[in-house]
Amino acid sequence: MAIIEIPPKAGRILRILQENGYEAYVVGGCVRDSLLGRRPEDWDITTSASPAQVKRLFAHTADTGIQHGTVTVLDDHEGFEVTTYRIDGDYEDGRHPKQVTFTASLIEDLKRRDFTINAMAYSPESGLVDEFGGMKDLKERMIRCVGRPEERFGEDALRMLRAVRFAAQLGFELADGVKGSIHELADNLRMVSAERIQAELVKLVVSPRPHWLRLAYECGITAVILPEFDRIMMQRQNNPHHAYSTGEHTLVAMQNIPADKVLRLTMLFHDMGKPEVFETDEAGIDHFHGHAAHSEILAGKILRRLKFDNETTRQVCTLVGFHSRYPKLSAYDVRLCAYEIGGRELFDRFLLVKRADILAQHPDVIGQKLDYLKEVEHIWQDVKAHEDCLSLGELAVSGSDLIAEGRKPGPRIGELLQALLMEVLQYPERNTKEYLLAMSREM
C-alpha cells in the first residue's frame, strides 16, 4: 500500500479534524506528487467539516476562498488550505462554477476534480482513496479526465490547457479522447479569464519540457490563446544561420535556458516579430531585418493581453528588444550595452538569452558564435569585478553637486550628467568627483 509522508503541521490538522468527528484527507496535487516521488509544493486538505466548523477548531484561520468552501488554517505562519467536500454548481460556458454545493461524500468531491491523477486522497487511517484509477494512470504516465473529456472540458475550458501543462510538467501522454476533445473544444478557451490562462501558461513554460508547447499547438490551443505562436510555427527561415522554422527554433531556444519565468518567456517571444519583417533576396535567402524591435512590441501586446505584471513585462520586453544585439569585443561597448539594457542583473540575463538563441541556430554557426559569446562573458566578468560605473546613479557626481557648483537647475543638468556618464563608460577610472566636476566646468 502506498505510504505518503505527510508533514507534521498538515498531519496535525488532519488529526484535529478527525478527533472532532470529521473526515479529513490530504488531496490532489500533493498526493499525486508524493506518489511520483516529487516534493509537493503545498498540502491541500479536504474535509467533511463545513467552513464554520473548521474555523471553530483552529485558532488562526483566514477566509481565503470561503465562497468555494476554502479556509486557510495558519500554523506558525504556514498556511494550509482546508476545503469542505463540494460539488461544483452550474458552469457558465467554460467558466468557473458560479456556486458550489457542499456534500458529505468524499467520492463526490473527488469526482469534480479534473484528472484521475489529481483525484486521489490520502489519510494515514484510511490509506489511499483512488476511485478513478489515478494510480494506474500515474504508472502508465497518462493524463486522463475524471469522466468524459468533452463533458469536463465543456464545464471548464481551462482544463484543456491544464492537461497540456501537466503533460509537460510530468512527461505524461494525453489519454485517448483527450486530444480529440481539446481539438473540438479549444475555442472555448476564449471565455476563460486571462489570469487563469496566464497561470497555466507560466507553469507550462517553466516546466522541464517547455517545448511541449508544441502539444498545445497541435491540439489547437495556441491558435486561441497565442495565435502569434502559430504564425511562427509556419514561418520558414531559409538562411545559413538557421536549421529550423522560427517556431521550432523558439521551442529549442526555450529548452536552452534555465527554468525561470522571465527567461523562458523571453525566448518564447524573442522572434515572434519575424513574420512581420520577412523578406527573401534574389539568392533565395530569407531575412528578418529589425525583427527584435517588432518582437518587443508584440511581446508587450501579448503580455498585457494576458495580464502579466508590469515588472515581468518590462524585463521580458527589454530582453526581447536587445536579443539580437552583438556588443563589440571591447569593455566600452559591453559597458554601454549593460547601461542601455538597464543594469547588471539584466545584462547577466541578456547573456543567457544570447547563449540560448545561439545554441538553437544552425550547427555550422554555433561554434563560432559561442566563441564570440565567451569573449563577451569574459569582458563582462572583468567589468563587474572592477565595479565600473554603469548608471547615472553610480556616477561620482550628482545633479545637486552640479547645482552647488553654480549650475542652474533644469534639463541642462540631466544632459551634463548624461555626457559625464558617456565619458565614464569609456574611461571608468575617470569616475571621480574632481575629474568630473572639472570636466563639467569646461562644458
Q: Which positions lie near ligand ATP, rule CB under 6 A? A: 28-29, 41, 44, 113-114, 118-119, 156, 158-159, 203
Instruction: Note whether 79 binds Mg ion by CB under 5 A.
Output: no
Q: Is residue 342 involved in binding Mg ion (CB under 5 A)?
A: no
**Closest CB to Mg ion: residue number:** 29
Question: Exposure pattern of 248-283 as b/e (b: 16+ CB <10 Å)?
Answer: bbbbbbbbbbeeeebbbbbbbbbbbbbbbebeeeee
- Beta bridge partners, 113, equal none
Q: For every residue of 163-177, which 3-state class applies, written as one string?
A: HHHHHHHHCCEECCC
Residues 146, 148, 150, 152, CA torsion sign: negative
Applying CB under 5 A, the span of 21-29, 74-82, 104-112, 222-230 interacting with Mg ion comes to: 21-29
β-sheet bridge partners, residue 24: 47
Q: Choose the contact partner of 279 out of ligand ATP, Mg ion, none; CB within 5 to 8 A by kind.
A: none
Number of residues this chain uses to bind Mg ion (CB under 5 A): 1
Which of 29, 399 has the CB closer to ligand ATP?
Answer: 29
CA angle 314, 318, 324 (to 5 degrees): 160
Rounded CA separation 199/306 (Å):
9
Q: Which is nearer to Mg ion, 29 or 79 (CB)?
A: 29
Nearer residue to ligand ATP within complex by CB, 45 or 57: 45
Least distance (Å) from ligand ATP to the CB of residue 256? 24
Q: Of 23 and 114, which has the nearer Cβ to ligand ATP? A: 114
The residues with which 61 forms a beta bridge, in sequence order, are 73
Q: Does 29 bind Mg ion (CB under 5 A)?
A: yes
Shorter beta-carbon distance to Mg ion: residue 11 or 29? 29
Q: Which of residues 377-406 bind Mg ion (CB under 5 A)?
A: none
- Distance in Å from the first CA to the final CA of the chain: 81
Q: What is the dihedral of CA 309, 312, 314, 317, to 10 degrees?
A: -120
Shortest distance in whole angstroms from residue 81 CB to Mg ion: 9
Least distance (Å) between residue 44 CB and Mg ion: 6
The residues of the shown chain that bind Mg ion, judged by CB under 5 A, are: 29
